[in-house]
Amino acid sequence: MNVHVVIGAGGMGEAIARRGGTDRTIVLADINQDLLAAATDTLAGEGLTVERLHVDVTDAESMHALAEQAANLGPVVSAVHTAGLSPAQASTDAILRVDLVGVAHFLDAFGQVIAGGGAGVVIASMAGTMSAGRLPDTLESQLATTPTSALLNLPFLATITDPGTAYGIAKRANQLRVQAAALAWGTRGARVNSVSPGVISTPMGLQELAGESGAQMRAMIDAAPTRRIGTPDDIAAAVAFLTGPDASYITGTDLLVDGGAVAGVRAHMH
């Protein structure tokens, strides 16, 4: 049976696992065993075939072991990385290790096992889209192509003290590294893209709404054409498209799924 890998067992990860898991073995992975067990039990209770595996995305060996375990179960036709930390949850250092380096480990490891015709998706963020153009081209190039083991040694990262800034840069790096990784994935006949969600009604999203940046986020929602918060299913639908046959000519790019929030912000700026 084909394998559908989802890293991150939160609200978004569970929705993506459910949407893409029909007629496939779902491999759901997380570092939080309680969260992983709850999501796995829910999906299995719905009749889906689920394997739960532990992963520490900040550790290269752990990520490569996950990729090998998944490939041993069958052809890995889809692999989705949703695991991440937000500014309200974590320090600058933790955000860079999980959101920046974790995604780089995913692209490295699953780029070696993804099946021909398969596809990967990284969940980035509209924060990355908003960060585009704020960094010099030289720094964007470094974020895109620096070997994973040397990423945290980039000098400019040591100057970042604000978790919000770290988050935006990490998510911009996700978009850039996906673009760069598309070439390597293409040698296997596979594709890889990123999805950049807006404000989504997950526990993490709601925590951000209740935090320091909540007022700014609510203003973005109010200024957006859709004037609503997104749902995990909105993101799962985008991922299903990008990992499906209708997206066979789409790779190395980002899909912004934000209800028009960025468009609203830019319209007001102009």
Local confidence band at 100 (pLDDT 50, 70, 90 cut-offs): very high
Which of 19, 167, 177, 192 is flagged as catalytic?
A: 167
Position 208 scores a pLDDT of 74
**What mean pLDDT comes out for the span 102-127?**
98
- The structure tokens listed for 67 are 């990729």
**What mean pLDDT comes out for the span 138-145?**
97
Position 269 scores a pLDDT of 75
- Output 89 or 195, whichever has higher pLDDT: 195
Among 65, 67, 64, smallest CA distance to 79 is for 67
Q: Per-residue pLDDT for 172 more than 80? A: yes
Among 127, 168, 133, 166, smallest CA distance to 256 is for 127
Task: Specify whether 171 is catalytic.
Answer: yes
pLDDT digits 0-9 by tens, 36-75: 999 999 999 999 999 999 999 999 999 999 999 999 999 9
- Percent of residues, the chain, with pLDDT higher than 70: 100
Task: Specify whether 167 is catalytic.
Answer: yes
- Percent of residues, the chain, with pLDDT higher than 90: 83
**What mean pLDDT comes out for the span 18-23?**
96
Position 19 scores a pLDDT of 97
Distance, in Å, from the CA atom of 231 to the CA atom of 12, rounded to the nearest integer, reads 8
Q: Per-residue pLDDT for 250 more than 90? A: yes
* Strands (E) located in the chain: 3-7, 25-30, 49-54, 76-81, 114-123, 191-197, 254-257
Local confidence band at 91 (pLDDT 50, 70, 90 cut-offs): very high
Say if CB 98 and CB 172 are below 8 A apart.
no
Q: Per-residue pLDDT for 256 more than 80? A: yes
Distance, in Å, from the CA atom of 102 to the CA atom of 173, rounded to the nearest integer, reads 11
Position 201 scores a pLDDT of 84
Position 188 scores a pLDDT of 98
Say if CB 120 and CB 159 are below 8 A apart.
no
Q: How many helices and strands, by DSSP H and E, does the chain display?
A: 12, 7
The DSSP code sequence of 228-262 is: S-B-HHHHHHHHHHHTSGGGTT--S-EEEESTTHH
**What mean pLDDT comes out for the span 189-206?**
91
Angle at 174 between CA 173 and CA 179, to 5 degrees: 95
Number of CB atoms found within 10 A of residue 6's CB: 32
Angle at 235 between CA 229 and CA 236, to 5 degrees: 135
Which of 19, 52, 81, 171 is flagged as catalytic?
A: 171
Position 89 scores a pLDDT of 86
Distance, in Å, from the CA atom of 208 to the CA atom of 76, rounded to the nearest integer, reads 33
pLDDT digits 0-9 by tens, 199-249: 888 777 777 777 777 788 788 788 888 989 999 999 999 999 999 999 999
**What mean pLDDT comes out for the span 182-209?**
91
- Specify burial of residue 260 (Cβ count, 10 A radius: 0-12, 13-18, 19+): middle
Burial 173-206 (b: 16+ CB within 10 A, else e): bbbbbbbbbbeebeeeebbbbbbbbbbbbbebbb
Position 267 scores a pLDDT of 83
**Model pTM score:** 0.95
Mean pLDDT of the chain: 95
Q: In the CATH hierarchy, which top-level class contains the domain 3-261?
A: alpha beta
Position 75 scores a pLDDT of 99
